[in-house]
Amino acid sequence: MDNLVSLLNDLDKQVEGLMTRLDISGKAERIDQIEQEAAEPTFWNNPDAAQKTMQEMSRIKADIEPWQKLAARINDARELAQMDDPSLVEDLDEEVRSLQKMVERMAFEAMLSGPYDRDNAILAIHAGAGGTDSQDWAQMLERMYLRWAEQNNYKVEIIERSDGEEAGLKSVMMSVRGAYAYGYLLSEQGVHRLVRLSPFDAASRRHTSFAKVELWPDIQGQIDIEINEKDLKIDTYRAGGAGGQHVQKNDTAVRITHLPTGIVVQCQNQRFQTQNRERALQILKARLFELERTKREAELAVLKGENIDAGWGNQIRSYVLHPYQMVKDHRTDYEVGNTGAVLDGRLNDFMETYLRAKIADKNVVS
């Protein structure tokens, strides 16, 4: 029993340290404050403000309750272990193993503590220079992320897809829904480089192809950004897939161009034009929000003297299929030789290595 008590004490200290770093006590105080505000008779006089405050409380509760329950569970197990009852040894041993796994998982998720890391994500893939090879590469990346999402129980919805002329795709935008989708996929934004013998080259020469992955938090109603209708150019067109599948007889698809920034958003997955327009506006708000956040970070980086270059040619990861097999992340130097597994969606090791390096401040550029 002494060994079990010692293990539980270690787990308790680890969880206590993580809860301190995540300011769980401060967040609990904020919930108490909101509950006091909500009890005031005038709280709902401003419904919009009240709703935002209640949404804030829900988000905070989602952050702190798992940690509070974990700490209570460790404490309960320790009290039982301190009873020194031999009949409890087997059950307690199993409980300690379960708690160790839970602490390990939650300690990793604690690295995903950014303001939008828990949110859904909007991921876009764009074929780069290289013609048909790059368009085929973009489709390979689409398949890779769809497989990753399936393996990790995320739900994916294709928002807009533009097929290539001969093969592959020019671009695709998808919504990835599930806990920490944005936090995990942060590791993927940037330029991805493929080196292989081209299946589209009659001489089977080696080609290098590029595709760019973009990412935004899909926080929808949480974004408070005003968009002037005069700044928008809205076009409609008929949605359709390859081979005439899902072709609409009416112009249900929507393309919105934000004139001041040149940002273009398209949506064709909804059945009605009004739904596509609403979803496209949500995505536009997310992109404008991310644009402003990136600008602020770039300004801070200049003040700190950091040199951040997010140019197209700076690939974050290379996938080499010829003359050897290797996938390497250039930010962390993490690499594997099983390219087939990676292209089949096995990305968690790359994601977790990136997150750990980022937390450790090893000069990883996000």
Q: How far apart are CA 118 and CA 193, in angstroms?
A: 28
Q: How far apart are CA 178 and CA 156, in angstroms?
A: 9
Give residue-wise pLDDT tens across range 273-304. Answer: 999 998 899 899 888 888 887 777 676 555 44
Tokens of 51: 């709703």
Domains identified in the chain and CATH numbers: 2-109 (1.20.58.410), 121-218+328-359 (3.30.70.1660), 231-304 (3.30.160.20)
Give residue-wise pLDDT tens across range 171-202. Answer: 999 999 998 899 999 999 999 999 999 998 88
Q: Provide the total of helices (H) and of strands (E) in the chain, helices listed first.
A: 9, 11
Give residue-wise pLDDT tens across range 227-262. Answer: 888 999 999 988 765 433 444 556 789 999 999 999
Sheet with 206-217: list strands edge to edge.
155-163, 169-177, 121-127, 206-217, 190-197, 315-320, 326-329, 335-336
Q: How far apart are CA 255 and CA 280, in angstroms?
A: 8
Question: Rounded to two decimals, what is the model's pTM?
Answer: 0.70
Peptide bond into 41 cis (omega under 30): no
> For residue 168, is it left (φ>0), alpha (ψ between -120 and 50) or beta?
left
DSSP H helices, 128-250, are: 132-151, 181-185
